[in-house]
Structure 1
Amino acid sequence: MDLNWQFWRSEGQTFFQRFLHWVDILDPTLLFIPNKEILISRTLLPTSKENIAESLQDKKIRDAWKLSLASVHPCTGETIPFLLRPPAFLPIYAPLVVVTLLPHRKTSSAFICQFLFHYYIAGVSLANGNAPKQDEKKTTEMVFSRKQLLLSFGVITYASCMGALPHYFVTRYNLSPSGQRVFRNFMPGPLTALLCALNVMVTRSSEYENGIEVMDSQGQVIGMSQKAGEKAVEQTALTRAVMFGTAMFFPEVALQLLKRTSSLLRKPFVLNPLRYVLTVAVLGGMVPVSLSWMPPIGKIKTSDLEPEIAASTEETEVFYYKGL
Structure 2
Amino acid sequence: MSDYPLFQLGKPRFDQNTFFGRFRHFLDVIDPSTLFVSERRLRDSVELLHRFKEGTLPPGVTNEQLWKAQKIKQAIIHPDTNEKILMPFRMSGFVPFGTPVVVGLLLPNQTLMSTIFWQWLNQSHNACVNYSNRNASRPNATSSFVYGYLGAVTSAVSIAVGLNVLIQRAKRFSPTTRVLVQRFVPFPAVASANVCNVVLMRWSELSEGISVLDQSGNVVGTSRVAAKYALTETALTRIVLPMPILVLPPLIMANLEKYAASMRSAQAACPSLGREASVEQETLLLRSLSQTYHPAHTDVCCLQMTMKERRLPLLQGYPRLVLPVHALVCLASFAFALPLAISLFPQTSQISVEKLEAEIARAADCKIVYYNKGL
TM-score, normalising length from structure 1? 0.78
Q: Which AA in structure 1 matches 2:50?
A: T
Structure whose alpha-carbon radius of gyration is higher: 2
Deviations 1:74-130 (A, max 9, x none): 7x4755733433112112221111122224653223212211211222333344455
Which residue of 85, 102, 111 corresponds with 2:90? 85
CA distance in 1: counterparts of 2:13 and 2:368, whole angstroms: 13
Of residues 124, 138, 150, the one that matches 2:147 is 150
| CA–CA distance in structure 1, aligned partners of residues 229 and 13 of structure 2 | 18
What is the distance in 1 between the residues matched to 2:69 and 2:366?
33
Q: Kindly tell me: are residues 210 and 116 of structure 1, through their superposed partners in 2, closer, same or farther at Cα, counting changes over 3 Å?
A: farther
Query: Shift in Å at residue 62 of structure 1?
Result: 0.8
Out of 67, 70, 80, which is 2:75 matched to?
A: 70
Equivalences for residues 203-282 of structure 1 within 5 A? 203-258=201-256, 259-260=258-259, 261-263=309-311, 269=320, 271-282=322-333
**In structure 2, C-alpha distance between the alignment counterparts of 1:8 and 1:228, rounded to whole Å:** 23
Task: Select the residue among 288, 292, 295 that pairs with 2:339.
Answer: 288
Gaps of 5+ in 1: 48-55, 132-139
Query: Structure 2: which 5+ runs fail to align?
Result: 1-6, 55-60, 260-308
Q: Distance in 2 between matches of 1:69 and 1:248?
A: 29
Between 1:309-318 and 1:158-167, the stretch displaced more is 158-167
- Paired with 2:114 and 2:372, the residues of 1 have a C-alpha distance of 37
Q: Which residue of 1 is the match for residue 11 of structure 2? A: 7
Classify the secondary structure of the residue corresponding to 2:183: helix
Aligned residues: 305
Contact 2:32–2:92 under 8 Å retained in 1: yes
Cα pair 2:23 2:339 within 8 Å, conserved: yes
| Pair 1:99-2:147 in alignment | no
Q: Map of 1:28-39 to 2, 5 A cutoff?
A: 28-31=32-35, 32=37, 34=39, 39=46
CA drift of 1:177 comes to 1.2
Kept in 2, the 8 Å contact 1:126–1:203? The answer is no
Equivalent residues of 1:247, 1:279 under 8 A apart: yes
Query: Are the counterparts in 2 of residues 301 and 317 from structure 1 also a CA contact under 8 Å?
Result: yes
1:281 shift after superposition = 0.8
- Counterparts of 1:216 and 1:238 in 2: how far apart (Å)? 25
Aligned to 1:134: none
How many angstroms does 1:38 deviate by? 6.1
- Kept in 1: contact 2:155–2:192 (CA 8 A): no
After superposition, the CA RMSD in angstroms is 3.5
Deviations 1:137-171 (A, max 9, x none): xxx45422425523432332332332344555678
Q: Which residue type is aligned with residue 16 of structure 1?
A: F
Q: Is the CA contact 1:106–1:171 (under 8 Å) kept in the aligned structure 2?
A: no
Normalised TM-score (structure 2): 0.68
Equivalent residue letter for 2:28: D
The equivalent of 1:17 in structure 2 is 21
Offset of residue 207 of structure 1: 2.4
Deviation at 1:10, TM superposition (A): 7.7
TM-aligned CA deviation for residue 301 of structure 1: 1.7
Percent identity between the two aligned chains: 28
- Separation (CA, whole Å) in 1 of partners of 2:47 and 2:33: 18
- Which of 193, 196, 216 lines up with 1:195 in the alignment? 193
Residues 236-290 of structure 1: per-residue CA shift (max 9 Å, x gap): 2212221212111122223444534334669965555433321221111111222
CA distance in structure 2 between the aligned counterparts of 1:91 and 1:155, rounded to whole angstroms: 22
Does residue 112 (structure 1) correspond to residue 160 (structure 2)? The answer is no
* One-letter amino acid matched to 1:158: S
- Once the two structures are superposed, what CA deviation does each residue of 1:293-321 show, in whole Å capped at 9, x if it has no partner? 22111112222222223332212122222
Q: Which amino acid aligns with 1:181?
A: V
Question: 1:323 maps to what in 2?
Answer: 374
Give the match's secondary structure for 1:320. strand
2:156 is equivalent to residue 159 of structure 1: yes
- Given that 2:160 and 2:185 are in contact with CA atoms closer than 8 Å, whether structure 1 keeps it comes out as no
